[in-house]
Amino acid sequence: NPVLQPKTVLIPLDVTHQVFATKEEQEMVLHGTFGRRKTTSNVRRMYHDLLMFFGKTYADVFGLKDGPPLHDPVAVAVLVHDCPDVSTRISFDDHGGERWDVQVELAGDEIGRTRIVPAKTGIMIPRSFDLKHFWRALNECLDTVEEKLADEQ
């Protein structure tokens, strides 16, 4: 769709597999930055438990022992890629504006096969992103949820 292509960002596994929730990140999720919390909130415990569930699955099925990759949170992080607030923005490296025409076979023997070719306008497919800022933003999101829930109690 020529209208949607310039508004679309495709996050491939090469990018999401740059984001492993290692022991350090698992601790950050559970206790916040610098382990500043004496107690763990239900929100942080739930998110940590999800990471551990997927971590076990990735270790058992794919042999990824360092921690699970975070696919969905990285895809959601794209929403703040162009945020005007620099402290919120998560920068994705698109090689200086590189864009792609993406076609997916919808029928036949090659159904599901994806073909990409360079294009002047098209879909953004980043190669990497600001990982440190991503983890900081994720921690801040967990802080915000904790604060909102505390306000409601």
Rounded distance, CA 146 to CA 102, Å?
40
Contacts of 65 (CB under 8 A, 6+ apart): 59
Contacts of 103 (CB under 8 A, 6+ apart): 114, 115, 116
Res 102 pLDDT > 70 = yes
* Mean pLDDT for the chain overall: 89
Q: Find the helix or strand (DSSP H, E) in which 23 lies.
A: helix 23-31
The total of other beta-carbon atoms located within 10 Å of residue 66's CB is 12
Decide which of 40 and 92 is more confident.
92
User: Sorting pLDDT into bands at 50, 70 and 90, what band is 15?
Assistant: very high
Mean pLDDT (whole number) for 48-64? 94
Mean pLDDT (whole number) for 42-50? 93
Task: Give bridge partners of residue 46 from the DSSP assignment.
Answer: none
Tokens of 47: 């998110």
Fill in the amino acid letter for 146.
E
Task: Give bridge partners of residue 28 from the DSSP assignment.
Answer: none
